[in-house]
Structure 1
Amino acid sequence: MNTQKLYYTLNEFLKEKFGEKVKKIPLDAGLTCPNRDGTKGLGGCIYCDPKGSGTGLYIEGKSLNEQLRYFLELFKKKNFKKFVAYFQSFSNTYAPLEKLKELYDIVFMDPSIVGLAIGTRPDCIDENVVNLLKTYQEKGYYLWIELGLQSIYNETLKLINRGHTFEDFLKAYHLLKENDIPVVVHIIFGLPKETKEMMMETVKTLAKLKIDGIKFHALYIPKGSKMEEMYLKGEYKPLEMEEYVELVALALTYLPPSTVIHRVCSEAKEEDILAPTWVSKKMEVINLLRKFMSERNLYQGKNYQP
């Protein structure tokens, strides 16, 4: 990456890899997670949207095939020719292997799908899942796994009812990396009781691991989530946009220039959340981040220490 650029975007990475623009297709496979179905807990994390983090199309009755056809038609009209299928909602390695293979195989029925991205939890990765994932790599598809970590602090993970530990994350991360499977890590800024120093320590720890990619999220309160009551009682105050932008800008300076920045802010519809409403203004956040970094001569890798 040219360090004169503010940060290394996913669009830039995919264009370098495939020689043209590549579009991600968000998919909802109708899966759940062990922190929702009673295996580890019920209701999920305290900020979990009852519909999941994705499109919610499965709940609306759209099959995986229908979702795929819909988005392919939509994006091909916008002149995209290559696509990565992104299993987004809930934990997409949390099902019997036969079921997972059936779901993943569906997306490759269209030759324009060149890659597979799978969002999941660290405690839903094992050797059997990894062996299945490797079969897609062997067929020549580009693959990455997105692991929801959120924080390296176990006290925070317990507080947000995450249902796994940082050690669980490390175990899954190393298993994937030992098998040459790229890993994108999700973290959240603004978690209850976390200080700026704690948030930066999470980033610095991931920088030492030389993670392949990262997604930054601001904590927001979906309607119907466990955080709703906490927020309405005045027990939690979300970050302001300016606070969040400053945190992300600083975090980017600690990351290796090679780490792909898949996302710099959360994305939510204003009607689905209580606060902070600025997370529904994605481009406004991105523009403010770029302005902040440019004015202060900040860029990805500036403070990175190998």
Structure 2
Amino acid sequence: MRFSNNKRYNDYSSFIKRRFSERVQKISLDTGFTCPNRDGTKGRGGCTYCNNNSFNPNYCKPDKSITQQLDEGISFFSKKYKTQRYLAYFQAYTNTYADINLVKQLYNEAVNHPQVIGLVIGTRPDCINEDLINFLSELSKDYFISLEFGVESTLDRTLKDINRCHSYKETVDAYQLAKNKGLHLGAHMIIGLPGETKDDILNHAIELSKLPINSLKLHHLQIVKHTMMAHQFKTNPTQFSFYSVEEYIDLITEFVGLLRPDIIIERFISQSPKHLLIAPNWNLKNYEIVDKIDKKLIEKNLWQGKQCLL
């Protein structure tokens, strides 16, 4: 099967070029919302791996308005790229977990910014409803609207262990509610969570391929400071096992082979700041990992969907 950009998978940069015909940059935003597994509604402490400081840029502060965060983010990125458009990325915590009127107000403020052409909304599958989906569906008639769910795992035992406080069935139900509404549906998965075998991880690709998703972000397991998982790693390190770079690349190429070929792969790894990262320390940039994956796919004569079971 032929993909763009001389890749053996459906890559995100090629999708952006097809969709927008110009450079597009995401501007991360922080609404100050929390999560139901943090505030006591479903649990306390949040997800065991989560430290939002591991990906929030400096301009992204909840005490600033959405417009101010967008202006500061655009000012930062426009120094490098003079001509580009922007997507407002509601990234930190659960960005649909608030009064529906407040959520609508913040989304409307973002799309009313003259340089914003759409929204990317990160949330949990148990924090959406029909009213919100219908609102986003209306917005999608004029703007690009991406709704990304933190799936993390398709196994309920893992979801329980990492304190997600929702089931995989709730994930499936959320995608069913959101499909065919004009929305770009994304998924986040963490590869290498404690207790998951290689077969478990490869089965994630099979299960994800059954969902009506348009894009996928893969994150390798990282333990970062100031998280429950950091405490668990310190007190009981034997419950964790980390892939070497070579092992991870070999695993991911098999994962890609099982994945439905139309799913856009947005990323293969996550990158926490060095001052927060505890393990594993691969000491490689994202593009270096991608280059190794590209070469391994050629070496193994694999491509996205080659072994897809659907």
* Aligned counterpart, 2:90: 87
2:9 corresponds to 1:13: no
Residues 56 and 89, structure 1, Cα contact 8 Å, conserved in 2:
no
SS of the residue corresponding to residue 307 of structure 2 reads coil
Residues 11 and 22, structure 1, Cα contact 8 Å, conserved in 2:
no
Residues 58 and 64, structure 1, Cα contact 8 Å, conserved in 2:
no
RMSD over equivalenced CA pairs, Å: 2.0
* Aligned counterpart, 2:306: 302
Structure 1 letter corresponding to 2:270: S
Figure out how many residues of one structure are paired with residues of the other and give that number.
305
TM-score normalised by structure 1 residue count: 0.93
How far apart are residue 181 of structure 1 and its match? 2.3
SS of the residue corresponding to residue 88 of structure 2 reads strand
Residues 31 and 95, structure 1, Cα contact 8 Å, conserved in 2:
yes
How far apart are residue 304 of structure 1 and its match? 1.9
Aligned counterparts, 1:129-140, within 5 A:
129-138=132-141, 140=142
User: Following the alignment from structure 1 to structure 2, what is the Cα–Cα distance between the partners of residues 88 and 64?
Assistant: 12
SS of the residue corresponding to residue 123 of structure 1 reads coil
1:212-256 residue CA offsets vs partner (Å, 9 max, x unmatched)? 111101111110101112212323232222222222211111122
User: Following the alignment from structure 1 to structure 2, what is the Cα–Cα distance between the partners of residues 131 and 56?
Assistant: 33
2:6 corresponds to 1:2: no
Gaps of 5+ in 2: none
* Aligned counterpart, 2:229: 227
Structure 2 letter corresponding to 1:121: R
* Aligned counterpart, 1:106: 109
1:66-89 residue CA offsets vs partner (Å, 9 max, x unmatched)? 221122123333134222111111
How far apart are residue 178 of structure 1 and its match? 4.2
How far apart are residue 26 of structure 1 and its match? 1.7
Q: Which residue of 69, 75, 78 maps to 1:76?
A: 78
How far apart are residue 62 of structure 1 and its match? 4.0
* Aligned counterpart, 1:215: 217
Structure 2 letter corresponding to 1:18: F
Structure 2 letter corresponding to 1:238: F
* Change beyond 3 A, Cα 1:22–1:92: same
Gaps of 5+ in 1: none
TM-score normalised by structure 2 residue count: 0.92
User: Following the alignment from structure 2 to structure 1, what is the Cα–Cα distance between the partners of residues 29 and 61?
Assistant: 12
SS of the residue corresponding to residue 126 of structure 2 reads helix
* Aligned counterpart, 1:274: 278
Residues 86 and 116, structure 1, Cα contact 8 Å, conserved in 2:
yes
User: Following the alignment from structure 1 to structure 2, what is the Cα–Cα distance between the partners of residues 262 and 148?
Assistant: 14
How far apart are residue 261 of structure 1 and its match? 0.9
User: Following the alignment from structure 1 to structure 2, what is the Cα–Cα distance between the partners of residues 154 and 178?
Assistant: 26
User: Following the alignment from structure 2 to structure 1, what is the Cα–Cα distance between the partners of residues 62 and 117?
Assistant: 27
* Change beyond 3 A, Cα 1:60–1:211: closer
User: Following the alignment from structure 2 to structure 1, what is the Cα–Cα distance between the partners of residues 152 and 112?
Assistant: 34
User: Following the alignment from structure 2 to structure 1, what is the Cα–Cα distance between the partners of residues 44 and 52?
Assistant: 11
* Change beyond 3 A, Cα 1:160–1:132: same
How far apart are residue 44 of structure 1 and its match? 0.6
User: Following the alignment from structure 1 to structure 2, what is the Cα–Cα distance between the partners of residues 56 and 34?
Assistant: 25
* Change beyond 3 A, Cα 1:32–1:279: farther
User: Following the alignment from structure 2 to structure 1, what is the Cα–Cα distance between the partners of residues 278 and 181?
Assistant: 41
User: Following the alignment from structure 2 to structure 1, what is the Cα–Cα distance between the partners of residues 58 and 78?
Assistant: 22
SS of the residue corresponding to residue 89 of structure 2 reads strand
Residues 265 and 279, structure 1, Cα contact 8 Å, conserved in 2:
no
* Aligned counterpart, 1:257: 261
